Structure 1
Amino acid sequence: MMGFMTGEETRTTVSPSIPAQVQAEAQTPIRSSAQDADLHTPPTRAWMTRLVIAGIVLTALNLRPAITSLGALLEEVRDGLGMSGSVAGLLTSVPPLCFAVFGVMAPRLARRFGPAAVVCAGMLAIGTGLVLRPFVGGTAGFLVASALALMGIAVSNVLMPVIVKRWFPDRVGTMTGLYSMALALGTAAAAAVTVPMTRALGGNWQTGLAVWAALAAVAVLPWIPLVRAKGTPLSTEAAPGGAVSAPAPSTSSGARQEAAPLRITRSRTAWALAVFFGLQATAAYITMGWMAQIFRDAGVPAGTAGLLLAVTMVMGVPLAFVIPRLATRLPHQGPIVVALGLCGFAGYAGLYLAPAAGAWAWALLLGIANCAFPLALTMVGMRARTGAGVVQLSAFAQSTGYLISIPGPLLVGVLYQHSGGWGLPIALMAGLMVPQIVVGVLAGRDRTVEDEAAAR
């Protein structure tokens, strides 16, 4: 995993532009001397850094299989539980609803227990929910168990950018890319493997969904020693404003600013980023929940439809590493927003005109368009100057964004059932790309939410 950083620093250093509180967080808790601090990283710190990277990657792998594995088997689940199209649309709207509701809790939980403990508990919730939901019986039980897994995903979603900013303040682009790439890999793997794995396990859709709990169980392991370790940026209790307490008290103005509460709703950039996040999430969850069904209704076999969904998701593996690094090198991320939006338009047009004939091309184009997600995560880290700002902006943008995205998958299900085809749903998807591009360009401007909140 460390190979991704061969072109950059292999230890955490502190840039003069990083505020004093973040600098304090980036320092090793114990140093033999000032000279030793400049020359090398103590072995304990190096080991902890590798453990954090492993935890980030394994967590990211678990943040979407609960959703894409269901998308691949949605028809079987609908038949098994007796769902209508509208109820299935409600089921595909549950993820953003849970992300919006439970994501708000993440900063408060992180201040109380530490980010590592919250993410560790989140992985446990994911594993428990995935084991239970296929076997509890009935649609209501399926939804409740799904909500438990999605609660774990929600808090981890919010805290991943926070962990990256605190532990790797000078490598936000690289680490966000690594995290996003792992997330895309987990998303694609669940879409591609679930159908053939279900067949190999006897054709029971319940077993095919439950098996993904094993991946969540593995992700718990690296967080356990991080929870037990004291004095690290992941285990130290955060200050009231959402910042982690430094090992030693600081009286600088930067530290006071870090701990001060931020009125995030006064920032236009925060609102633009929240809406951008919501619209890209709408497109992503419509794709994960319905794209395989669109291809199956066009005559594509179920296994191939799952592979097409996997292709769409796997496009995020290389691009999720490239886009954040590119974004951090540009003063304005608007051009990337526009390029991704145009790919979305082309993919939806093809899906409308020739869904089966050009299926692989449309899957590729929509996969590129879905890379607005790692771009949004990167902008969360770039649009806030302080650690406290990243905590609040991440929670606000993701919770508000997921709240915005709730109606999309449900509306697609309703339109599909009542129109008898995919014309209107695809037109809706394409139409939503216009406001996504507009607010994405606004969110990509070079400014910080702290400056905007203070100026109003």
Structure 2
Amino acid sequence: MSELHSALNVDSQAVKTAPQGNKPAEYGIPTQRALVLVGIILVSLNLRAAVTSLSAIYGIISHDISGFNANILGILPLLSFAVFGSLTSTVSRRLGYEGALLLSMLMVCAGIALRTLTGSFPVFMACSVLALAGMGFGNVLVQPTIKKYFPDHVGALTATYAVMIAVSAGLPSAIAVPLAQNDGWRANVALWSVTALIAALPWLFQLLRIHHRGQKEEVNQTIAKPVIPHVAVWKWPIAWSMVVLFGVSMMSMYAMLNWLPTYLIQNGISAATAGNMLFVYNIVGIAHSILVPIYLGRMKKPYIVVAIGGVMQIVGYMGFLYMPGASWVWAVVAAPGLMTIPATFQLINLRTRSVEGAASLSSFTQGVGYVFAAAGPFFFGQLHHSTGGWHVSFWFLTVMSTVMLLAGGAAVRNKYLEDAQS
């Protein structure tokens, strides 16, 4: 908390000595930075809820939605994040980070609200894409926004972001079943439309403040003049290592979010208990979500984070598969395997010198990474359906975690994107 407090009270000397392109906007300190901090927290709380609020109640929803297909819903978030994440830089150049984040949350709000009004799966899916598009924008925008306003506290703010992501993934799954049973699944879904609307408000106020002061959303007027105009990010090998690190981690996360409740229920565990296990799987990650972003840049051997994450993923898969009776244990064991996700978020800022560099690397890592990750829930489900069991599905994820262990090491090398482009 002390780091967050100091982030809101940075002195003028810190602002003056920040690296060029990394300084926060010089207006409205500290009040404006406090508003941005609130906005970042609220956005982060809405970047997973539209997905995890559904997976534990697929069985309930399927009775009201004709043609309901859980497998399609399983891959839809990742594909949407990939497509719309890759478009984020274009949107942010036109609207600024603040305007793009406002649009992001309004899209989430509208998409979630509209899908409560339909009984058709194609319409339900179209509304979901609208919400997921907003979430895809938000995924990419948070990191450069942190670098813009809090360049002196990137670790602390990235940790805050990662914790809120964990809460956003875990809390909806825990309350989905009881809320749906008491008030219906539409009430459960509508709740997260309201939270997205609340998350839009700080960015509306921020835009009004900027407009009132007659200032455009730019960082030292470098948005229109990218630092890396000549060589694409995809030509940087470390960026591909980050794609693998992020993609496999997200593959693991979304395969579990979408299929773990079904697997547990088939092994005799109640739907409510399965939802609680999914909550634990996400919430246990709060510890490493705090520690990894803060300490990763200070570690002499940061690959240890990749190694521990990969090994814990594999142990969790094997535990769920061969000892499902101890699923509570494996939910706790598997959770630290996701420490590579906050590590990637932090590496986006650690491997760039400028806001625009962070935006480019964030867009590439998450855009391509989510395409890679989409294979997780899709193949996990398809392998289950084709074999009639779960062994091949869990072994598929085990192989992918091994690939991450081999390829993810380059991401932690102390190199900068801007240097590679010169």
Common fold: TM-score over 0.5: yes
Q: Separation in 1 of the partners of 2:63 and 2:376?
A: 23
> 1:303 aligned to 2:272?
yes
Aligned partners of 1:299, 1:136: CA distance in 2, in Å? Answer: 32
Mapping of 1:271-286 within 5 angstroms?
271-286=240-255
Structure 2 unpaired stretches of 5+? none
Equivalent of residue 81 in structure 1, options 65, 78, 89: 65
- Identity across matched positions, percent: 27
Provide the rounded CA distance (Å) in 2 between the counterparts of 1:97 and 1:256. 30
Q: Equivalents in 2 of 1:259, 1:430: separation in Å?
A: 37
Report whether the alignment pairs 1:19 with 2:19. Answer: yes
Aligned to 1:429: 397
State the Cα distance separating 1:388 from its structure 2 match.
Answer: 1.6
The one-letter code matched in structure 1 to 2:299 is L
User: Shift in Å at residue 77 of structure 1?
Assistant: 2.6
Further displaced range: 192-201 or 340-349: 192-201
**Does the aligned pair in 1 maintain the 2:230–2:421 contact within 8 Å?**
no
The structure-2 alpha-carbon separation of the partners of 1:404 and 1:178, relative to structure 1 and needing over 3 Å to count, comes to same
Contact 1:412 1:425 in 2 (8 A): yes
The whole-number CA distance in structure 2 between the counterparts of 1:102 and 1:281 is 16
Q: Which residue of 2 aligns with 1:410?
A: 378
Q: Say yes or no: does 1:329 pair with 2:298.
A: yes
Q: CA deviation at 1:92?
A: 0.5
**Root-mean-square deviation (Å):** 2.4
1:288 & 1:165 partners in 2: Cα distance? 30
Measure the CA separation in 2 of the matches of 1:79 and 1:414: 22
Instruction: From the superposition, tell whether residues 112 and 413 of structure 1 become closer, same or farther in structure 2 (CA, over 3 Å).
Output: same
Single out whichever of 394-403 and 382-391 deviates more from structure 2.
Answer: 382-391
The match for 1:215 is: 195
For 2:78, the equivalent position in structure 1 comes to 96
* Alignment partner, residue 320 of structure 2: 351
SS at match of 2:309: helix
Structure 1: give runs of 5+ residues left out of the alignment. 30-43, 248-254
Q: Tell me by how many angstroms 1:139 deviates.
A: 1.4
User: Residue 136 of structure 1: SS of its match in structure 2?
Assistant: coil
* Contact 2:7/2:152 (8 A) holds in 1: no
Which residue identity does 2:323 align to in structure 1?
A: A
Please say if 1:291 is aligned against 2:260.
yes
Alpha-carbon offset, residue 229 of structure 1: 2.4
- Aligned residue identity for 2:210: K
Q: SS where residue 63 of structure 1 aligns?
A: coil
- Residue 353 of structure 2 aligns with which residue? 385
The 1:271/1:17 distance shift into structure 2, 3 A limit, reads farther
1:136 and 1:3, CA in 2 relative to 1: closer, same or farther beyond 3 A?
A: farther
**Which AA in structure 2 matches 1:334?**
Y
Cα distance in 2 between the residues matched to 1:447 and 1:182: 28
Give the Å deviation of 1:268.
0.6
Alignment pair present for 1:265 and 2:265 = no
Report the 3-state secondary structure (helix = DSSP H, G, I; strand = E; otherwise coil) of the residue aligned with 2:413.
Answer: coil
Asked if the contact 1:262/1:450 (under 8 Å) is kept, the reply is: no
**Deviation at 1:104?**
1.4
Q: Which region of structure 1 is more displaced relative to structure 2, 210-219 or 57-66?
A: 210-219
Deviations 1:255-290 (A, max 9, x none): 987475552122111111122211111111111111
Once the two structures are TM-superposed, the CA of residue 98 in structure 1 deviates from its matched residue by 0.4
Shift of residue 97, structure 1, vs aligned partner:
0.5
Question: 1:419/1:448 Cα in 2 relative to 1: closer, same or farther (>3 Å)?
Answer: same
- 1:198 partner SS: helix
Supply the distance in 1 between the matched residues of 2:25 and 2:193 (Cα, whole angstroms).
36
Equivalent positions of 1:30-69 (< 5 A) are 44-69=28-53
What TM-score results when the alignment is normalised by the length of structure 2? 0.93
- CA separation of 1:179 and 1:438: change in aligned 2, threshold 3 A: same
Q: Given the alignment of the two structures, is residue 156 of structure 1 paired with residue 138 of structure 2, yes or no?
A: yes
Pair 1:206–1:230, CA change in 2 (3 A):
closer
User: Which is greater in Rg?
Assistant: 1
| 8 Å contact kept, 1:130–1:210 | yes
Distance 1:194 1:344 in 2: 25
- Is the counterpart of residue 70 in structure 1 residue 54 in structure 2? yes
- Aligned-pair distance for 1:123? 0.7
Letter of the structure 2 residue corresponding to residue 110 of structure 1: S
Deviations 1:272-331 (A, max 9, x none): 112221111111111111111111111101100000000001022222111111112124
| Cα 1:289/1:72, change in 2 over 3 Å | same
2:408 paired residue among 419, 440, 443: 440
Amino acid at match of 1:5: L
Residue 244 of structure 1: how far off its partner (Å): 5.3
Counterpart residue identity of residue 270, structure 2? P
